[in-house]
Structure 1
Amino acid sequence: MELFPTIDIQEFRKDQLAGNQGYLYSELRGEHHIARPHQHHFFLLVLFDQAEGVHTIDFKDYHIDRHQIHILFPKQVHSWKLGANTTGFQLMVDREYFEKFSPNFRFSFAYYQRNPVISLSNETFALLYYEFNAIRKELEDHNCVPAIIYSRTAVIASILSKEVQKVVQNEQNNESNPRLLKLQELIDIHFRHEKSVSFYAKELNISTPHLTKICRQKLEVSPSQLIQQRTILEAKRLLKATGLSIKEISFKLGFVDSPYFSNFFKQHTGLNPKQFRTD
């Protein structure tokens, strides 16, 4: 059962200003509402020039303002309400193509997912707008060179990394770590039935204490907290987007009974599952 509609990049082709197999460029102008939350198979960057409204990403509301960039990874759930004066530019990147330039993000994906909205100085906005516009022009060219588009998306990732570097307290603690990227992938696959840190440490061929140390140093959370956060996010999705009973959701997420799940959910959200569903 699909929790939220999952939209493929091809479904946006009719609104594109420019695009090819792996990339799509479009613009946002004026009032626009996404009434029903959905998720994407692709990576999305939204560069706002003039804007107002609210962007909800994984159940958290972010105020939309001028000179911001919003970052969405595949499978993140989002919706928004954009005001009438909105001007924005969207760059959609197919997952396969995203993987090619993603190493240019110097910080863990977990950081960007926890902080998906970055406010930009006028200078940085101008730099990013230049790259967005250059990508649009290249995509419009019948003799489009994929290597040029790749290079410009890599530049965008590097500019964003530079912006993040300005706000993190300790660059070394937040730099991207291959094991953390793999850990996030493993949690996404196994969190429903594997709650123990030792399982993930074994999959990564490191000790449990070492995995805990890496997470605390670089993400400032424990591996257990990462697993719990992923479980809570999935629980919210199931409660809001399906008709499954709380008991069914409990078993789907690997809990032995619904009271245990309800206590776990309330401990982390302040609401029991029924309250969250009807809120």
Structure 2
Amino acid sequence: MNRTRCLERNFEEYQNKLDSNNEVLYYPLIGKSDTTEICRHDFFLLLLVESGTGIHTIDFIDHLIRPWQLHLVLPAQLHLLEISKDAVVYQFLIATEIFKIFAGSFRFGMAVYRKSPVFDLNEEEFLSLSNEFLGIRRDIENKEMFRKLVVARLFVIGYYVSQMAAQLVEDKTVYKGHPLLFEFLALIDKYYTSHRMVAFYAEKLKVTPNYLNVLCKKDFYCKATELVDDRVLLEAQRLLIAGVSIKETAFELNFSDVSYFSRYFKLRTAQTPKSFRDMYLL
């Protein structure tokens, strides 16, 4: 997989088309798509693989592409897609406003789907999702009923995804993530560059750090501090591959000095900022 000259870019040509009149776009990939740039965008991406192979890198983690798969890319995630010549892949680009409407159909908190964004499907699951994809493609053309029909189908897809996600977690009892955790994630996005201590977020949420940890372990299967660190590291990686110097990256993320940032980065990724950056730049 060629990762030289990997630069961040937004899907501007698609982002500009996503508006109140075009809230869902259909974008098929037929044949080889040799992407050499890491892409970041502000919409939700649903990707259904009918045939072919390749690699889909989401937030710097490689996922092997195989027939009969569903891939999710959440708003603001980074991804890089390479597929084979025989690949048939169907994609829907969904405006954040629409995503927020049907996100409630996802059974688990979004952190679960960030960690497990790819689902292998059996024949029945693939055919069911194919029918919904085909229906959405058809409904997009019906402007009068567009929102009701498409959103209804997206809710159905969300329920299918929830059923598959249940197989990935130990506790298969039906539940939704605690509302406080969604507030926690929103606060992380707002304050991660200036606050990395769980105690800060616990105080904002008016709970103890221990209670916040208990909720995170129950619903996200990780410690609260891991969610904060994940967001900090993702931004650090984004800046580094965009060509920002290590010193400037440390400054942007409010680390006291470069050495501390380098130790923080290496402890959590097992590589230095320089070695990580060199993987993606010439």
Establish whether TM, by shorter chain, passes 0.5: yes
Structure 1 segment 159-198 matched on structure 2, within 5 A = 159-172=160-173, 175-198=176-199
SS in 2 for 1:271: coil
Kindly provide the CA deviation profile for residues 105-132 of structure 1, in whole angstroms up to 9, marking residues without a partner as x: 0111000011110100100010000011
Deviation (angstroms), 1:33: 1.8
Q: Which letter does structure 2 place at the counterpart of 1:99?
A: K
Report the counterpart of residue 62 of structure 2 in structure 1.
Answer: 61
Report the counterpart of residue 41 of structure 1 in structure 2.
Answer: 42
Query: Which residues of structure 2 form unaligned runs of 5+?
Result: 1-6
Report the counterpart of residue 8 of structure 2 in structure 1.
Answer: 4
| Number of aligned residues | 272
Counterpart-to-counterpart distance in 1, 2:14 and 2:271: 38
Deviation (angstroms), 1:145: 3.6
Report the counterpart of residue 30 of structure 1 in structure 2.
Answer: 31
Counterpart-to-counterpart distance in 1, 2:36 and 2:237: 18
Does the CA contact (< 8 Å) of 1:54 and 1:61 recur in 2?
Answer: yes
Counterpart-to-counterpart distance in 2, 1:185 and 1:172: 26
Deviation (angstroms), 1:265: 1.1
The structure with higher relative contact order (CA 8 Å, sep 6+) is 2
Counterpart-to-counterpart distance in 2, 1:4 and 1:190: 23
Kindly provide the CA deviation profile for residues 153-184 of structure 1, in whole angstroms up to 9, marking residues without a partner as x: 10010111011112321135974222222211
Does the CA contact (< 8 Å) of 1:46 and 1:71 recur in 2?
Answer: yes
Kindly provide the CA deviation profile for residues 223-271 of structure 1, in whole angstroms up to 9, marking residues without a partner as x: 11211122122111111112x3222211211211111111111111222
Change (3 A) 1:145 1:159: same
Change (3 A) 1:276 1:109: same
Structure 1 segment 47-196 matched on structure 2, within 5 A = 47-172=48-173, 175-196=176-197
Change (3 A) 1:172 1:191: farther
Q: Which letter does structure 2 place at the counterpart of 1:128?
A: L
Does the CA contact (< 8 Å) of 1:24 and 1:93 recur in 2?
Answer: yes
Kindly provide the CA deviation profile for residues 34-64 of structure 1, in whole angstroms up to 9, marking residues without a partner as x: 2111111100100111120011111111100
Q: TM-score, normalised by structure 1?
A: 0.91
Deviation (angstroms), 1:20: 4.7
Counterpart-to-counterpart distance in 1, 2:113 and 2:198: 23
Report the counterpart of residue 276 of structure 1 in structure 2.
Answer: 276
Report the counterpart of residue 4 of structure 2 in structure 1.
Answer: none
Counterpart-to-counterpart distance in 2, 1:33 and 1:12: 23
Report the counterpart of residue 246 of structure 1 in structure 2.
Answer: 246
1:267 aligns with 2:267: yes
SS in 1 for 2:148: helix
Q: Which letter does structure 2 place at the counterpart of 1:38?
A: C
Counterpart-to-counterpart distance in 2, 1:167 and 1:60: 18
Alpha carbon RMSD of aligned pairs, Å? 2.0
Does the CA contact (< 8 Å) of 2:68 and 2:120 recur in 1?
Answer: yes
Counterpart-to-counterpart distance in 2, 1:179 and 1:103: 15
Does the CA contact (< 8 Å) of 1:135 and 1:152 recur in 2?
Answer: yes
Deviant stretches of 4+, over 4 Å? none
SS in 1 for 2:55: strand
Counterpart-to-counterpart distance in 2, 1:255 and 1:62: 31
Query: Which residues of structure 1 form unaligned runs of 5+?
Result: none
Does the CA contact (< 8 Å) of 2:15 and 2:41 recur in 1?
Answer: no
Deviation (angstroms), 1:151: 0.7
Does the CA contact (< 8 Å) of 1:8 and 1:42 recur in 2?
Answer: no
Counterpart-to-counterpart distance in 1, 2:246 and 2:141: 50
Counterpart-to-counterpart distance in 2, 1:173 and 1:270: 36
SS in 1 for 2:202: helix
SS in 1 for 2:40: strand
Once structures 1 and 2 are overlaid, which stretch shifts more, 143-152 or 262-271?
A: 143-152
SS in 1 for 2:27: strand
